[in-house]
Amino acid sequence: MSFQSNWFGSQTRLFFLLALVLLAVLARLIPHPPNFTPIGALALFGGAGFSDRRIGFLLPLLSLFLSDLFLGLHVLIPVVYGSFALNTLLGRWYRSHRNVLTLAAVTFLGSVQFFLVTNFACWLLYYPHTPSGFITCYVAAIPFFQNTLLGDAVFVTTLFGGLALAERGFPALREAKPEPTLAGKGAY
């Protein structure tokens, strides 16, 4: 594969991935049930879809921040953003373990860790620091957890499925594999 065709393919892929990210951000801005958003899925997708780790982390967090400017800033931002950064790490892990079962597992784990982490912060900020307050906080959050699970499942399916279909129809969108080198093959 020549440099020019490799460069064109990587640029085409980057623009396609950015378009998917933009659509996901717009989906957060339209009316939706609480916690039924694309951001958890977007963080997984960023970690898995972008070969550059910086872009993989930056895009979901920047998307979240830009949409938060419209929706409102809040005291839990550091916790929420940190939780989505953990989702990006799950997406990075998924890059080397790609199959439907592992995608379902990282999607579920991302939803669970978001529920556990953000509601622990809610308990610390808004509820009595007692076992009863802890239980009350997490029980009150169960409807939000259901929406998080459903939203993550829908948007993971949309993002990863959309990319897989596009890659099948347009090979230029496939991630370029590094060219093998002579190093390690006995050549000097």
Q: Where are the domains of the chain?
A: 9-168
Q: What are 64-94's pLDDT values in tens digits?
A: 888 898 889 999 999 999 999 999 999 999 9
Task: Report residue 146's pLDDT band, with 50, 70 and 90 as the boundaries.
Answer: very high
Rounded distance, CA 56 to CA 45, Å? 8
pTM of the model as a whole: 0.85
Residue percentage of the chain with pLDDT more than 70:
89
Residue closest to 21 by CA, chosen among 61, 70, 77, 68: 61
Question: What's the CATH code, domain 9-168?
Answer: 1.10.1760
User: Distance between CA atoms of 122 and 116, rounded to whole angstroms?
Assistant: 10
| Reported confidence tier of residue 179, pLDDT bands at 50, 70, 90 | low
Which tokens is 104 given? 């379902």
